[in-house]
Amino acid sequence: MALHALLRRNLTSFFSENLLSPTVSNGSLSLHIAYFSTAMETKPSTTPSVYEFLTNKHQFPPQVASRAASILSPSINPEKYDSVLSFFKQIGFTKSHLERILINRPHLLAADLEKIIKPKIKVFQDNGFPSDDITAIISKEPMILHVSLENKLVPALSWLKDLFGSIDKVARALRKSGWLLLGDLENITLPNVQTLMNRGMSRDQVVKLINYMPRAILYNRETLSRCLENMDKMDVVWTPKMYIYAVATFCSMTGEAWERKLQAFREILEFSQDDIVRVLRKSPTVFCVSQDKMRIVKKLLLGTGKYDASSIAEFPRVLLFSIEKRCKPRFEVLGMLESRGLIEEWPSLCLICSLTDEQFFEDYSVAKERANLCKLVNGIEAFCFGGVFASGGE
């Protein structure tokens, strides 16, 4: 308390003796006051935030602008991002393309336009990629514009062009997976392709595999080798076409996951080992379905009273069709037709699932209803002209 009183007396003495002293000039007093006033003022900033810049100037949705603003540095004047956005718009990027970039790779706005972005775009243009393909590929995988031009982008595009034979085919593959330009071409991609070709896969099969499952050639070499070893253990001889799907199937899961999948087919679908081998040979992609779908399909089939678990082994592709859009509606139609006496037995599961919607509607709905209507009309005619009315009535 004594210390507090002492400090208060000293401060009071200081201000009364100096600021209020008649010896202090008005100019000196003004200088003191101006100093304290200036030091305490906060000058308003006229620089917009990243969020404001993106929403106000470029009309991006709040959620997109918020995502980008959370990543980009607030210390950089957002106007610097304008040149990148303007360039993208100039070469054909739509608003939806740019929104995807801002969500997945907002850092791209801070990249050097002249040194990083333009040279890579030019490589695509010089190789003959149409603007629509460039924008679709980059917006889906904007990381492409951050990889090394000489060490990754140019060699990868050159290899893909040689493999596929045309830019149109390369573009279709890259639209599906831009990761084909991001992998380690020298140490992973090319050795993996060579491994597959050493096992009998042709050049055309490699192309089909890339189109179906691009990441199959992007796994590290040890992973691909383990997948191929798991295939060998099944002792299945595939046709050239099914071999592609078999490689993709085995590459889609680890060895442990594959063992769990086999167990699920045995326990849930009651497959024998012969069933498993037969299905693997004819429809390997069936083994990509989840255990939940196995249970749902089995329950649906058994619920009809027309099929059992063996029906799935006979036509395993039923597991690949949509339950809600194909299987269930068609079973309901067949049940209704049977209840009306319009069909005596249900067709095979293969036929039910393989028909297009138009074919099924024509064969098992319109035609049956037409037959029912004909029966009804014939019955009325018989009644009217061969019954009561024919005899003149009562």
Instruction: Give every CB contact of residue 297 below 8 A, 6+ residues apart in sequence.
Output: 312, 318, 319, 323, 327
Q: How far apart are the first and last CA of the chain?
A: 126
Over residues 128-164, the pLDDT tens digits come to: 999 999 999 999 999 999 999 999 999 999 999 999 9
Buried b (16+ CB within 10 A) or exposed e, 220-259: eeebbebbbebbeebebebeeebbbbbbbbbbbbeeeebe
> Which fold is adopted by the domain 254-373?
Transcription termination factor 3, mitochondrial (1.25.70)
Cα–Cα dist 75/82, whole Å: 15
Asked if 145 contacts 137 with a C-beta cutoff of 8 angstroms, the reply is no
Q: How many CB atoms lie within 10 A of CB 173?
A: 18
pLDDT greater than 70 at residue 104: yes
Model pLDDT, residue 78: 84
Q: How confident is the model at residue 74 (pLDDT cuts 50, 70, 90)?
A: confident
**Residues contacting residue 79 through CB under 8 Å, at least 6 positions apart:** 48, 53
pLDDT at 23 > cutoff 80:
no
More confident residue, 327 or 394: 327
Contacts of 255 (CB under 8 A, 6+ apart): 226, 230
pLDDT-derived band at 296, boundaries 50, 70, 90: very high
Distance in angstroms (rounded) separating the CA atoms of residues 54 and 10: 55
pTM (predicted TM-score): 0.75
pLDDT band at 369; cut points 50, 70, 90: low
Determine the average pLDDT of the residues in 190-217: 96
Least-confidence region, from 19-23, 58-62, 156-160, 182-186: 19-23
Per-residue pLDDT of 240-274, as tens digits, reads 999 999 999 999 999 999 999 999 999 999 999 99
Domain range list for the chain = 187-252, 254-373
Supply the pLDDT for residue 344. 87
Rounded to the nearest integer, the mean pLDDT of the chain is 85
Cβ atoms 270, 312 nearer than 8 A: no
- Give residue for tokens 């890339």: 210
